[in-house]
A and B are shown apart, each in its own frame.
Chain A
């Protein structure tokens, strides 16, 4: 909870772990729980006949801060929600010791369709007001009933290639970069034959950092715009496209239509057509380009190839 509140809230991070998942009372192999992606990949089971899934949850909040803060009657409420099925349920977890809660959450198959977000809030009495939300889980979990891709891991890759020597890219050999896509992956091709591009992007000099970042941002805006448009063209209905296309849409739609739920935003694309939303696409692409940290493939890989300025 980083927004400003009219009462003291927790500064430290609240983390949630799913340490066991039981499907109709049979434990799932741990491989279906992806800790790095905070995803439970139920759809991998390829089973349609289950009724209920139980998630064993463990929550930790910074104990020292809780001990010294102005909060009383602490309680942790775990929540499971899915906008598509209008489900939002909450369970109170048990406090094991100060700053630590455990408990279980049930999801019924009849109540859910695709991606269920499992999160939670830390609630306390503050200044005599009960029920104040003082923190939320920093990184919520997703229980995936539908998607095909195993995890949320990015499938957007970056590579250096000399366009003039690549039969598929020779047609645009004087362009500095080009996005190419297949059903499985999206690739950002950087043209190593373009004079100076590599020198700027890989320059270790701090003095060149502004220009490097400006260039990286511009590449990113171009890339996100291209990826969005390609993905949006594949949207035919309310169904989410699979793979990287779905990821790109889920990431950018909240910036295109901030007042809409994700599903509604998807419908807007269908209703208006890709052509009718280009200014919004540009806005969302620019926003993606400005926040490389939380984003995937491309900038992360650029950061890897680029030595830090020290």
Chain B
């Protein structure tokens, strides 16, 4: 195993992801991947351990539950700027080289033959096996608090639908949605999707940014957190502490949570929903 994570270009990743590979009936060409990947500086070993631990802690039938455990720890172990995290090559490398076994374990479909969707190996940030967890942690954490990330990643509809909405890039909007989930105002997948839809629609005429201002993110604190990594052992049994780059204003989250509750209960489809 290589000691650091490298960068694997999309084009190459696509070439290696043959149907045989996706069905896990052909091995990935390790030597070819190593040859084309460009070295980077992040340590590979802590990540490898982390994926092993996830597969140990959860049985295959509980594999979706691994998301909520893994997301905060992955974010805390692989400390990236958003600029770095937007580079798909790092995610390609994780999936095709460092931990393809995790991708098969987590995302192999139950069809016949079982297959992993190509986008789980190399794909959009909200589909790729590791990018979706890292970004969910980045977009749903409340400053240093990963609590909301656990709520978000415990619900597959949040990961599949809410994560890709532009409105959640406004942090108080993301936090308000999570608060409704945590308070069990919304529970089922259908309710999550309805909420996502009404929040998104109302957001085209209402400015959530004006109604619920966000505090300025402390960019230097985020930088410090990245640099602190050496010497920090990320815990497995308790939530790690995220970057202290500032929490959202609670008054902003409160007012959006009230607004979203109202939008949700007034939406025509919410009333007809079975509990």
Whether A88 touches B166, Cβ cut-off 8 Å, given contacts A79-B209, A111-B83, A133-B206, is yes
Whether A133 touches B205, Cβ cut-off 8 Å, given contacts A86-B82, A88-B169, A111-B82, is yes
Check B222 for interface membership: any CB of A closer than 8 A.
Answer: yes
Which of the residues B123, B169, B207 comes within 8 Å of A86, measured between beta carbons?
A: B169
Chain A contacts for B208, CB-based, 8 A: 131
What is the CA–CA distance of A238 and B169 in the complex, to the nearest angstrom?
22
| Distance to closest chain B CB from A124 (angstroms) | 9
With a 10 A CB-CB cut-off, give which of A90, A130, A132 has the most chain B CB atoms: A90
- Establish whether residues A86 and B205, one from each chain, have CB atoms under 8 Å apart when the complex forms: no
Chain A contacts for B213, CB-based, 8 A: 92
Residue of B nearest to A90 (CB): B209
- Establish whether residues A133 and B14, one from each chain, have CB atoms under 8 Å apart when the complex forms: no
Interface string of B194-217 (1 = CB under 8 A from A): 000000000011111111011001
- Establish whether residues A267 and B10, one from each chain, have CB atoms under 8 Å apart when the complex forms: yes
| Distance to closest chain A CB from B205 (angstroms) | 6
- Establish whether residues B83 and A86, one from each chain, have CB atoms under 8 Å apart when the complex forms: no
What is the CA–CA distance of A7 and B205 in the complex, to the nearest angstrom?
9
Whether A111 touches B135, Cβ cut-off 8 Å, given contacts A5-B205, A75-B210, A77-B207, is no
Interface string of A116-131 (1 = CB under 8 A from B): 0000010100000111
- Establish whether residues B207 and A123, one from each chain, have CB atoms under 8 Å apart when the complex forms: yes
What is the CA–CA distance of A237 and B91 in the complex, to the nearest angstrom?
14
Interface string of B217-229 (1 = CB under 8 A from A): 1010011000000
What is the CA–CA distance of A302 and B191 in the complex, to the nearest angstrom?
54
With a 10 A CB-CB cut-off, give which of B85, B125, B204 has the most chain A CB atoms: B125
Chain B contacts for A121, CB-based, 8 A: 207, 210
Residue of B nearest to A131 (CB): B211
- Establish whether residues A110 and B169, one from each chain, have CB atoms under 8 Å apart when the complex forms: no
Check A160 for interface membership: any CB of B closer than 8 A.
Answer: no
Whether A77 touches B209, Cβ cut-off 8 Å, given contacts A108-B219, A110-B223, is yes
- Establish whether residues B207 and A85, one from each chain, have CB atoms under 8 Å apart when the complex forms: no
Check B237 for interface membership: any CB of A closer than 8 A.
Answer: no
Whether A237 touches B222, Cβ cut-off 8 Å, given contacts A85-B82, A113-B83, A113-B86, is no
Residue of B nearest to A81 (CB): B169
- Establish whether residues B11 and A270, one from each chain, have CB atoms under 8 Å apart when the complex forms: yes
B residues lining the A interface (CB < 8 Å): 9-11, 14, 81-83, 85-88, 118, 123-125, 135, 138-139, 166, 169-170, 204-211, 213-214, 217, 219, 222-223
